[in-house]
Amino acid sequence: MAKSKATPKAPRAAKTHYSAPALEKGFDIIELLALAPDGLTSSEIALRLGRSLSEIFRILVVMERRHWLHKSSETDRYNVSYHVLEYALRASPVQALGAIAAPIMYELAGATVQSCHMAVVSETTILIVLQQESPAHSGFSVRLGTRCDVYSSCSGHVLMAFSDRLTADKIMSVAKLSSTPQLEAFKSRLAFIRERGYEIKASSRSMGVTDISYPIFGFDGRIRAALTLPFLTVIDGSQTVDIENARQHLAKAARKISNGLGWFGSEA
């Protein structure tokens, strides 16, 4: 008697979507609170997320217990805690960058009596990940976590100028300019920055501030960040470091950080 052939099993459909409702609610809460600097009560969070209070109550309690959220004892409002930032930095390449850059940025701020900050490409935007205040009694600084405009910011110019073509095109396709002539002018500016090795321009937002930015390279010669010094001009005669000396200090600091990351390329 002939054996019957086994019917081949149909291939299993690949799963393309997984659901983790509690985890997604936690992410929704963090993203919502990130846009609410004054914090929100549990009722306000539920209302804005379009969920019932019972759906999110236990999640809020757990997130507070694990220190991802902070609840004010006076207002009962929740805020995202610094715990989030701490672990985000530990889990990202910024950790190694910060360990090398932080003391150098501190020295730079002291030598120039100006603040400085460091920006990186984060997906399709420019993000401030490190910041050092000026030691002067007053100064100009950019807040940690700020997202910068690609086309108007000094950091954005440097990061675009030295990024690979794929990265630059991806970012510019999202942050579109209004016309082709503007785009061509921007590309020409990037070519000029690559040739000169740095960017210097009047601040696009503040009077009396001139932004200077240098690239930070990794061991493989690829840009890792932009180190920027917003030079604030004062009129009381107390300024002892002029803008050219500040630029030279910035160039040395950027190269020192790059060296710390393993890059020993030619001088800009």
Q: Are 114 and 229 in contact (CB under 8 A)?
A: yes
What residues contact residue 66 under an 8 Å CB cut-off, 6+ apart? 83
Burial of 74-97, coded b for 16+ CB within 10 Å and e otherwise, reads eeebbbbbeebeeeeeeeeebeeb
How do residues 141-172 score in pLDDT, each as one tens digit?
Answer: 788 888 888 888 999 999 999 998 888 888 88
How do residues 74-85 score in pLDDT, each as one tens digit?
Answer: 899 999 886 676
**Reported pTM:** 0.66
Distance CA 191, CA 197 (A): 10
Q: How confident is the model at residue 180 (pLDDT cuts 50, 70, 90)?
A: confident
How do residues 34-64 score in pLDDT, each as one tens digit?
Answer: 888 889 999 999 999 999 999 999 999 999 9
Chain centroid to CA 77: how far?
27
The CB-side HSE value for 154 (13 A sphere, CA atoms) comes to 27
CA distance to 15, 263, 266, per residue, from 102 (Å):
44, 18, 23
Of the candidates 92, 130, 132, 88, which has an alpha carbon nearest to the alpha carbon of residue 113? 132
- Name the 3-class secondary structure at 147: strand
The residue that leads in pLDDT, 95 or 46, is 46
Distance CA 212, CA 198 (A): 7
Domains (ranges, CATH) in the chain?
21-86 (1.10.10.10), 92-260 (3.30.450.40)
Distance CA 99, CA 195 (A): 29
Pairing of strands 199-202, 209-217: antiparallel
Chain centroid to CA 32: how far?
19
Distance CA 262, CA 124 (A): 26
Q: Residue 157: how many CB atoms within 10 A of its CB?
A: 27
Distance CA 10, CA 35 (A): 48
